[in-house]
Structure 1
Amino acid sequence: MERRNEILETITDKPGITFRELARELGIGIGDLQYHLRKLEKEGRVFSRKTGKRRYLFPKGFEEKAQRLLIAISTETRRRILLLLMEGPKNQKDMARSLGLSQPTVSYHMNELIKLGVVTAEKESRSVIYTLSYDPELIARLIKEYRPSLWEKLADNLIDLLTSVGDGE
């Protein structure tokens, strides 16, 4: 029971944590974690959402809009895309160039973000323009509240960027 409470507490503190991350963080074997999660799900204290090959865990009653966003920011590439889109709508070619990624890679991640409802796509002549479906302030609040280490990393990146701009003068 103590182990189960530890699992529940971690999921509550880090909603959207993946099954594998949770196992690693708590040092629990896969079978043991599966057992306790089944019990917690039957009790209605947690639920999971499977997207692609990953299983994301949330505490009971966690807002769906926030679920989708936390799933979206769970991978580095999607976080980078969302941060880029916070500047405004972009097409795939511009995003690929800005992020140093291939267009097929950007396309794959954009399709995943569209499925989650985090981004919308609108055809404009020969290209597709992608726009955030969420208010950038909500994205920033969720990152700051539920992924503080990510927030610190983003702040460090901003400081590095500002420092490099200042050195160029």
Structure 2
Amino acid sequence: MTDSDPGDEPELELQSRRTIYQHVRDSPGTHFRALLDGLEYAQGTLQYHLRWLEDQGLLEESDDGKYTRYYPAEEFDEIDQAVMNALRREYARRIIAHLVVEGALSTAALSDRLERSPSTVSWHLSKLEEADLVTKERQGRSVEYELRDPERVQYLYTVHRRTFTDRVVDRLFDLWDSY
């Protein structure tokens, strides 16, 4: 057996890179802190390998305004990444679930369902609107929000359901499936 030149290494020859890559494939949209906690690599080591995997075109990153999230390259388009970014945030995920199941809802209605202040719900709705995931329409004195593509949201949630830990949303999506 001959020693190979380090420049000829296959992209995922290192176990650490395979582990990081597989973790992102298994939980697309995961963020750096979750990777750090789940994989127990040193911060610098993880940063180095993530950057290397991105430079090799194996991973893509998406900034959701709070976190940098990671996706397997070329598996999620920008819209899918925006949906997954939102689904990874607890209250955005719950708002989305209600909109999938019930259709257009006002901030007040969502506030009641989530038992959160209207200002909190409004903030999350504005983030969903910025991500182009919801539309708003004036209905008399109130504004109602609706998902742009509920089928796409349902599909992505269903495919990646095991990576979300939210029984409330699971029950809502199960209700939607029963229609």
TM-score bracket for the superposition, by shorter chain length: 0.7 to 0.9
Matched, 1:122 2:137: yes
Relative to structure 1, the CA distance from residue 131 to residue 65 in structure 2 (aligned partners, 3 Å threshold; closer, same or farther) is same
**Count of residue correspondences:** 158
3-state SS in 2 of match to 1:49: strand
Q: Deviations over 1:101-157 (max 9, x none)?
A: 10110011001111111111123332211001112x332321221231537835874
Q: TM-score, normalised by structure 2?
A: 0.80
Give unmatched runs, 5+ long, in structure 2. Answer: 1-13
Relative to structure 1, the CA distance from residue 134 to residue 12 in structure 2 (aligned partners, 3 Å threshold; closer, same or farther) is same
3-state SS in 2 of match to 1:123: strand
Q: Where do 1:23-42 residues align within 5 Å?
A: 23-42=36-55
Partner of 1:68: 82
Mapped contact 2:87–2:93 kept (Cα < 8 A):
yes
Distance 1:119 1:84 in 2: 12
Distance 1:29 1:149 in 2: 23
Distance 1:2 1:151 in 2: 28
One-letter code aligned to 2:95: I
Match of 2:110 among 84, 87, 95: 95
Give unmatched runs, 5+ long, in structure 1. Answer: 162-169
Relative to structure 1, the CA distance from residue 63 to residue 70 in structure 2 (aligned partners, 3 Å threshold; closer, same or farther) is same
Relative to structure 1, the CA distance from residue 93 to residue 66 in structure 2 (aligned partners, 3 Å threshold; closer, same or farther) is same
Looking at secondary structure, tell me which structure has more helix per residue. Answer: 1
Distance 2:66 2:80 in 1: 20
Partner of 2:29: 16
Relative to structure 1, the CA distance from residue 112 to residue 152 in structure 2 (aligned partners, 3 Å threshold; closer, same or farther) is closer
How far did 1:44 drift? 1.1
Q: TM-score, normalised by structure 1?
A: 0.84
Distance 2:29 2:103 in 1: 26
Match of 1:49 among 40, 62, 67: 62
Q: CA RMSD in A?
A: 2.1
